[in-house]
Structure 1
Amino acid sequence: MPVTPAATPVTPVTVVGLGSMGSALAAAFLAAGHPVTVWNRSPAKAGPLVEQGAVHEPDIAAAVAASPLVVACLSRYDTTRAALAPAGGALRGRTLATLNSGSPEGARAMAEWARSLGARFLDGAVKNVPQAVGAPDTQLVYAGDRSVFEEYEPVLRVLGGDTIHLGEESDLAALYEVAVGATLLPALIGFFHGAALVTDRGRTAASMVPYSVKWLEMIASILPALADEIDSGDYARPFSSIGVFRDGMDDDLATARTAGLDGDWLDSLYGVVRRAVAEGREGQSVSALTEVLRRPGS
């Protein structure tokens, strides 16, 4: 087992929830030399971690009491509260860090619940897949009391080298998780749509990958400029206008129909473009769609 560097305190950690992500978190703590207690509703999932040196505690209150830092990785905030409810008394004086999905409202409610029990609270999000936990470039973001984050930052950093505190407001990690995550499904569905077009022509989806990656790199390169336009509210000097997207949308939809694909998702996206054109924005930067999204159905 790797030896924890001298600069990193050896802190006992309890991990609550042993799905694929929770198990990866527990394994990373173990690899860094931290004593780890694990709890899961289905005890069988603890077996591989016990083999690596973790202690399985089937009683949630005892599991929480075993460590000053409790990291919960369950599906949602309400699931986390339900799992930890029997351990309410044991949470007093401990730090609870949640790494689950949910809304900013859910994060605020979770923070209030934890504080009402006398626990210190951090909310966080893992911005990668379980297999990447522990890597130097894996990003995790946290929100909440900065002094608590700074106290446990060396411990939390073993989960990913790109570990960031976003601010004191308890819902910021959830806010950025939802905001940044909004890109994922549309991008993936776009790739799947393209893959359906290409494979229907007898070519492979793999043949698209180099070009899709290059396209995504181009998108990444222009995000700073688009963000500056949104922050300034100045959309008058576009390098890609809403009108350009309007001009291409009918061909995109026709191609989907000709190929027999479900084009409803495209039609929904282009509905935002149509609303922008109806507002007279066709000459503005595509980033002005942000303003249209602020007024759904208007």
Structure 2
Amino acid sequence: MTKNPRTPVTVLGLGLMGEALAGAFLREGHPATVWNRTAAKADRLAGRGATRAGSARDAVAAAPLVLVCLTGYDAVHEVLGPLGDVLDGRVVVNLTSGTSAEARDTAAWVERQGGTYLDGAIMAIPDAIGTPDAAVLYSGPRAAFDLHERALGSLGGTATYLGADHGLSALYDVGVLSLMWNILNGFLQGAALLGAAGVEATAFAPVARNGIETVAGWLAGYARQIDDGVHPAADSTLDTHLAAMEHLVQESESHGVDAGLPRFIRALAAEAVAAGRGGEGYTALIDRFRKPSDHA
């Protein structure tokens, strides 16, 4: 009988994402052990060949690679806390959303138990797991990532290693969330403005998408300016941006649309211009974002 060459994997937490993760491992032929507080959530996976563990302890003991996908870090510590002795020698990959500080603290705790910790961030919806559209980011010891890169590749798309700092995955995650929310808020502001003129959001959407794609094309060059600390006005100066921001504020106010977001954007640029940076490019605002907030 041929031995299965695939790494045995345990998945703790079988919400929508956890079930998708376990399913992807099963599709790639990995022996998978699964556990969830509500045991019935393992039924579909058990029907596909997964081993249902009777306890979290049994689940962790079943495999050298343990993936955790729970509702938050409090739940992670509640589940793993009593299991310190069985973490010895295992690689724990935590795909639970949280902060960089939580990731670093959890890594230190796992390492004190003799385990190795990788933090991860899933940049995909559950339906995309196991497909080329999925991307998962990892941070922690390089040797642990290299050891299990093939197994982690079962989750689809790209398994990206970010670096040894356990907190990097969480920072990348919230960085992308910031991008997402700012894009969506900008779209909602524009849709509200056009809606006030009787234009449906569906008519605005393709124009907005073209604008987003144009801005996306600027990112590599803007990133280089930020890293170099030089902010040339290759396309437009902050002075020019500020004048256009004033138009957005005026249009919002005149159409009875909330102008809070446009005023905030204008205030950021106005502060930089007042500091004598009006002739520089937009990336000069990075220095404003690097400051602690007034409420820090």
- TM-score, normalised to structure 1's length? 0.91
Q: Distance in 2 between matches of 1:154 and 1:95?
A: 14
Distance 1:243 1:30, change over 3 A: same
What is the percentage of aligned positions where both structures have the same residue?
39
What does residue 253 of structure 2 align with?
257
Contact conserved, 2:28 with 2:154, CA < 8 A, in 1?
Answer: yes
Match status 1:279 vs 2:270: no
Structure 1 vs Structure 2 CA RMSD: 2.0
Distance 1:252 1:58, change over 3 A: farther
Contact conserved, 1:272 with 1:293, CA < 8 A, in 2?
Answer: no
Deviation (angstroms), 1:154: 0.5
Contact conserved, 1:238 with 1:286, CA < 8 A, in 2?
Answer: no
Contact conserved, 1:242 with 1:285, CA < 8 A, in 2?
Answer: yes
Contact conserved, 1:38 with 1:54, CA < 8 A, in 2?
Answer: yes
Match status 1:204 vs 2:195: no
Distance 1:237 1:189, change over 3 A: closer
Distance 1:184 1:87, change over 3 A: same
Match status 1:220 vs 2:237: no
Q: How many residues align?
A: 292
Deviation (angstroms), 1:35: 1.7
Contact conserved, 1:134 with 1:158, CA < 8 A, in 2?
Answer: yes
Q: Distance in 2 between matches of 1:196 and 1:142?
A: 38
Q: Distance in 2 between matches of 1:237 and 1:199?
A: 33
The amino acid of 2:245's aligned partner reads M
- TM-score, normalised to structure 2's length? 0.91
Unaligned residue ranges in structure 2 (runs of 5+) = none
After TM superposition, the structure 1 stretch with the greater mean CA deviation from structure 2, 140-149 or 82-91, is 82-91
Match status 1:86 vs 2:57: no
Is the partner of 2:138 in helix, strand or coil? strand
After TM superposition, the structure 1 stretch with the greater mean CA deviation from structure 2, 95-104 or 252-261, is 252-261
Is the partner of 1:260 in helix, strand or coil? coil
Q: Distance in 1 between matches of 2:40 and 2:262?
A: 44
Distance 1:240 1:116, change over 3 A: same
Deviation (angstroms), 1:260: 2.9
What does residue 162 of structure 1 align with?
158
Contact conserved, 2:129 with 2:156, CA < 8 A, in 1?
Answer: yes
1:89-168 matches, within 5 Å, as 89-168=85-164
Which of 34, 37, 41 is the equivalent residue of 1:38? 34
Distance 1:85 1:294, change over 3 A: same
Is the partner of 1:124 in helix, strand or coil? strand
The amino acid of 1:210's aligned partner reads P
Q: Distance in 2 between matches of 1:41 and 1:198?
A: 48
Unaligned residue ranges in structure 1 (runs of 5+) = 1-5
The amino acid of 1:164's aligned partner reads T
Match status 1:10 vs 2:6: yes
After TM superposition, the structure 1 stretch with the greater mean CA deviation from structure 2, 139-148 or 167-176, is 167-176
Q: Distance in 2 between matches of 1:48 and 1:211?
A: 43
Distance 1:64 1:278, change over 3 A: same
The amino acid of 1:257's aligned partner reads E
Q: Deviations over 1:33-80 (max 9, x none)?
A: 112122223333223222322223241111111111110112333321
Contact conserved, 2:124 with 2:133, CA < 8 A, in 1?
Answer: no
